[in-house]
Amino acid sequence: MMSTRFFRNIQLGVKTLLLHKMRSILTMLGMVFGVGAVIAMLAVGEGASKQALDQIRRLGSQNIIIESQKPPSESGSGTMQVRMNIYGLLYDDLTRIEQSYDTVDRTVPAKLIKGQGRVGGRSIDLRLVGTTPNWFELVAREHLVGRVLIDKDIATNANVVVLTEHGARKLLVGRNTVGSMVKINQGYFEVIGVIKSESTQSGAMQTPDQQIDAYIPLDVAIERFGDITVTRSSGSRSRELVELHQLIVQVNSIDNVESTAAGIERTLSLFHPKNDYRISVPLALLRQAEATQRTFNIVLGSIAGISLLIGGIGIMNIMLASVTERTREIGIRRAIGAHRKQIIGQFLIETVVLSVTGGLIGIGIGILIPWLITMFADMPTIVTLWSVLLSVVISIGIGVIFGMYPAMRAANLDPIVALRHE
d(CA 114, CA 245): 12
Provide mean pLDDT across the span 234-258.
82
- Averaged pLDDT score across all residues of the chain: 81
**Which pLDDT band holds residue 295 (cuts at 50, 70, 90)?**
confident
Between 373 and 391, whose confidence is greater?
373
* Average pLDDT, integer, range 391-414: 79
Residue 175 has pLDDT above 70, yes or no: no
From residue 199, give the alpha-carbon distance in Å to each of 56, 268, 411: 13, 28, 66
Identify the CA nearest to 346 among candidates 410, 394, 392, 415.
Answer: 410
User: Contact at 8 Å (CB) between 113 and 229?
Assistant: yes
Degrees, nearest 5: CA angle 33-292-257: 150
- Specify the pLDDT at position 95: 92
Whether 313 has a pLDDT exceeding 60, the answer reads: yes
Give the pLDDT score at 201: 45
Q: Is the model's pLDDT at 32 over the cut of 90?
A: no
Q: State CA 98 to chain mean position distance.
A: 34
At 191 the pLDDT is 93
- Chain Cα centroid distance, residue 174: 36
Higher pLDDT: 236 or 289? It is: 289
pLDDT of residue 110: 93
Would you say 84 and 262 are in contact if contact means Cβ atoms under 8 Å apart? no
| Burial group, residue 419, by CB count within 10 angstroms (0-12, 13-18, 19+) | middle
What pLDDT band is residue 93 in, cutting at 50, 70 and 90?
very high
SS3 89: strand
Q: What is the pLDDT of residue 339?
A: 78
pLDDT tens figures, 322-365: 777 777 777 777 777 777 777 777 778 788 888 888 888 989 99
Residue 422 has a pLDDT of 56
Q: What is the mean pLDDT of residues 253-266?
A: 90
Q: Please give the average per-residue pLDDT across 268-288, as a whole number.
A: 86
User: According to the model, what pLDDT value does residue 262 have?
Assistant: 92
Give the span between the Cα atoms of 304 and 300, in whole angstroms: 6
Count Cα atoms within 13 angstroms, Cβ side, for 254.
Answer: 8
Identify the bridge partners of residue 165 per DSSP, sorted by sequence position: none
User: Does the structure show a pLDDT above 80 at 44?
Assistant: yes
Q: What is the mean pLDDT of residues 77-102?
A: 78
Model confidence pLDDT, tens digit, residues 109-148: 999 988 889 888 888 899 999 999 999 888 878 888 999 9
